[in-house]
Homo-oligomer: A and B are copies of this chain.
Amino acid sequence: MPQVTLGIDIGGTTTTMGFVDELGNILAENTMATLAKEHITMFLPRLYTQIEILQKSLPDDSPLVGIGIGVPNGNYFKGTVENPPNLQWGGVIPLANLLETQYKVPVALTNDANAAAVGEMIFGAGKGMKDFILVTLGTGLGSGIIVDGKLAYGYTGFAGEMGHLTVKHGGRLCGCGKRGCLETYVSVTGIRRTVSKLLADSMVSSSLRELSQNDLTGEMITQSALQGDSIAQEAFEYTGMILGQKLADVVALLSPQAIIMFGGLAHAKDLIFQPTLKYMEQNMFPIFKNTTKLLISELQDKNAGVLGASALIWERIKV
């Protein structure tokens, strides 16, 4: 009768859920469209139906000990989802309460990057570390900060918005309304913008001149760089420089044992890791030189969203 938790990862496009045991094995998982324009009262019955289907595939005697949820704008303290820009659920939704009422188990909720950090601490590259930072490099840049073995939620419950550190005052416009945010430079979207800038500034020939900005993917930039395209290579060098400089600041504040990278751009491995590490160390306050490792997520090829969400519950049980 192994205990199980249910991890739910709600994204703008897809919602994934899975039952997870305490070793991080996903015993059963399932996916449904999020349908972002749907009201929460339409979303929940669909979710419950999917969970019911999934539950039937588990052994009868696996007790569910809790539900963890990773969701944009999830407030850990209140268990609410507060006006996420990508979901038309309507206002402030007491999602944790709603699921607690339905399933009679504890429900924990936070945003996706925070959940991923807890997942990395319980099941991944952060195991055994008390101070580390997870950075997700996807469409945007998210982060979760672990301080002394616990996720830092801050006073509001929303700490860890590394993507919105300012790189350059008056710089690139960001979706948040500010200018010059880190994620406008360092993310899949950011490196695409950098490619456009480099194509504008230089005259070297590049296969990237054949593609529209919208058609360009992180994977294409990676492949071009590996094939020797100098624009693509310069784009990675620039992206790593901006990230490395900013990580040196983050280390000066928090002195983490590791910074763990996850998501789209992290797949580019050395192309992004080498310049990031170089510029991080170049800009490092002397006493912190060579004290913080750059690591790749160990959940990168697993269902990290589900594992991270479920880890919100395992973390409470294991303490």
Contact = CB atoms under 8 A, between A and B. Distances in A.
A-side interface mostly: loop
A161 B252 contact: yes
B253 A158 contact: no
A234 to B, nearest CB: 18
Given A155-B131, A161-B285, A287-B156, A254 B145 contact: yes
A274 interface: no
Contact of A283 (B156, B166, B286): B166
A37 interface: no
A252 B254 CA distance: 14
Contact of A148 (B143, B147, B161): B147
Interface stretch (A4-12, A54-62, A242-250): A242-250
Interface string A157-170: 11111101110010
A256 B153 CA distance: 9
A157 B148 CA distance: 11
A159 B253 contact: yes
Oligomeric state, in copies: 2
Contacts of A148: 147, 150, 152-153
A161 to B, nearest CB: 4
Interface string A224-267: 00000000000000000000010011101111110000000000
Contacts of A164: 252, 285
Contacts of A165: 249, 252-253
A253 B147 CA distance: 12
A240 to B, nearest CB: 15
B166 A287 contact: no
A42 B253 CA distance: 34
A283 B178 contact: yes
Given A131-B154, A245-B166, A145 B286 contact: no
Contacts of A252: 161-162, 164-165
A130 interface: yes
A291 interface: yes
Nearest to A282: B178
B256 A154 contact: yes
Contacts of A48: none
A292 interface: yes
A1 interface: no
A256 B160 CA distance: 11
27 contacts: A129-B155, A130-B155, A131-B155, A147-B152, A148-B153, A153-B255, A154-B254, A155-B255, A155-B257, A156-B287, A156-B291, A158-B287, A159-B253, A159-B255, A160-B253, A161-B253, A164-B252, A164-B285, A165-B249, A166-B245, A166-B248, A169-B245, A176-B286, A178-B285, A178-B286, A250-B253, A253-B253
Q: What 6 pairs across the A-B complex have the smallest Cβ distances?
A: A154-B255, A155-B257, A159-B255, A164-B285, A161-B252, A147-B147
